[in-house]
Chains A and B, each alone.
Chain A
Amino acid sequence: QKEVEQDPGPLSVPEGAIVSLNCTYSNSAFQYFMWYRQYSRKGPELLMYTYSSGNKEDGRFTAQVDKSSKYISLFIRDSQPSDSATYLCAMSGWEGKLIFGQGTELSVKP
C-alpha cells in the first residue's frame, strides 16, 4: 500500500462546477499538507499549505485536512478553464521529507 493515495482521474467538469480532489494517507506522523498545481509541461507550483487538521480558504480554493480519517481534500469553487491542470497532494512529518500523491488530472470545459 502506498503511503499516499490519490485518484489519478482524469476528471472532466463543466465551467462553474465545484471540484473536489482527495487524498488518503496511512502515516499518522504527517503534520504538513500541501496541494500543488502543475500545468502541462511545467513544474509543480504550491497552491495551498495546511498544518494539522482544519480548513484553509484562499479565494476559490479550500483545503481541508481530517487527520482522524487520514483524509485531505481540495475544493475548487466556480471552476474555470484556467484551472485545468494536474493537482498533486503532498505531505510530510517533522523531518520535512515530502511524500506525493500520483496527481489528479483535471479538465474544466468552457
Chain B
Amino acid sequence: DVKVTQSSRYLVKRTGEKVFLECVQDMDHENMFWYRQDPGLGLRLIYFSYDVKMKEKGDIPEGYSVSREKKERFSLILESASTNQTSMYLCASKQADRGSGETQYFGPGTRLLVL
C-alpha cells in the first residue's frame, strides 16, 4: 500500500511565523503535490513537483514556497504565516504520467490554525 505521511496532524502558529509542513511518501513516486482544502472551495493546488529539485506553481502559490531535496520528501513553507492561511493542508503523491492517468494518493492532512 502507498503510504503518504505528514509531519503534524494539528498545528497552531502565530501571524508572521515561518511554518514548515513536511510530507514523506514511501512508494518512490516522482510527482508530489500540496493542496489546501477549505469549506465550499474544495481542494486547491498550491505547488507540485515532478522530480527532485523541480517545482511548479499551482493555482494559489502566493505566500507559499516548497522544497524537494529528496525524492520521498516534499516540504511546504509558509514564509510569514497569515490568518487567511488557516486551512487543512493535504500532501499527495503519484507515479509520473505514463499515458494512463496514474492516480494521486493523499496523506492524512495537517490542520493549521494561524492566530
Contacts and interface: CB of A to CB of B under 8 A. Distances in A.
Interface of A: 6, 8, 31-32, 34, 36, 41-46, 49, 51, 88, 92, 94-98, 100-103
15 contacts: A8-B40, A31-B101, A42-B108, A42-B109, A43-B4, A43-B108, A51-B100, A96-B94, A96-B101, A97-B45, A97-B48, A98-B45, A100-B43, A102-B41, A103-B42
Contacts of B90: 43-44
A100 B97 contact: no
Contact of B106 (A32, A45, A94): A45
B105 A46 contact: yes
Interface in B59-95: 90, 94
Nearest to B6: A43
B109 A49 contact: no
**Those 10 A-B pairs whose CB atoms lie nearest each other, nearest first:** A32-B101, A43-B106, A102-B42, A100-B43, A96-B97, A43-B108, A100-B42, A43-B109, A44-B106, A43-B107
Instruction: Using C-beta atoms within 8 Å of the partner chain, give the interface range for chain B.
Output: 20 to 34
B28 interface: no
Given A100-B43, A102-B42, A94 B109 contact: no
B26 to A, nearest CB: 15
B91 to A, nearest CB: 8
A45 B43 CA distance: 13
Nearest to A91: B101
Given A8-B40, A44-B90, A94 B103 contact: no
Contact of A88 (B42, B48, B101): B42
Contacts of A94: 97, 99, 101
B103 A102 contact: no
B106 A95 contact: no
Interface string B32-71: 0000000011110100100000000000000000000000
Contacts of B109: 41-43
Contacts of B107: 43
A97 B111 CA distance: 24
A53 to B, nearest CB: 14
